[in-house]
Chain A
């Protein structure tokens, strides 16, 4: 089965700084997504990462705060910009297009972010 990796696995950052999270898949996939999971909460979709074009953001999320790149069918990055303590969350990438039932999303291991 395909492997999805994320870097870093966790980080502690100072407010006002930015962090870029990488998501790498070892096979080509059709769709990639970025989710945020705040402490004790469910997952919320940030955006769909589109290959070769601008990401599609969900309501409440903007490109200036969460710039996303997807240069090819196996890699994407999410940047959390100008961080505040409210950005402390688990950030997860997911992909569609691997084995399994249609529309099945497989997730990376997540990035735990703590902002001080």
Chain B
């Protein structure tokens, strides 16, 4: 069964600095994708970035990038040049059968000015 582990319940980062949010996963699938979502206090879930297991390069999307280490089964999210608006809950997710998503417990990020 698919499993996602996010070990950091909460993180603080100074504005304009970079921060790494950890995500490890467990799957027996050979081909899979990993997703990161952001959930602000408003409650909506915003898709940030996707990494395919066979992608040769780490995914990047603006200030978001993935440090994908397939052998270690980790897909850490790196946010560069943090902004106050980055304060939110962040979830890592892995597709399961039927296109369902299995989510990690999430990490609360707080950006300090």
On A, residues with C-beta under 8 Å from B are: 31, 33, 37, 41-43, 45, 48, 56, 90, 92, 94, 96, 100-110, 112
Contact = CB atoms under 8 A, between A and B. Distances in A.
Contacts of B52: 101
Contacts, number: 56
B68 interface: no
Interface string B39-55: 00011111100101000
A42 B4 CA distance: 11
Given A45-B101, A94-B101, A101-B52, 5 more contacts: A42-B104, A43-B45, A43-B91, A56-B98, A110-B43
Contact of A31 (B42, B47, B50, B99): B99
Chain B: interface residue count, which band? 20 to 34
B35 A42 contact: no
Given A33-B100, A43-B91, A100 B45 contact: no
B43 A109 contact: yes
7 contacts: A33-B100, A43-B91, A90-B43, A104-B47, A105-B35, A105-B101, A109-B42
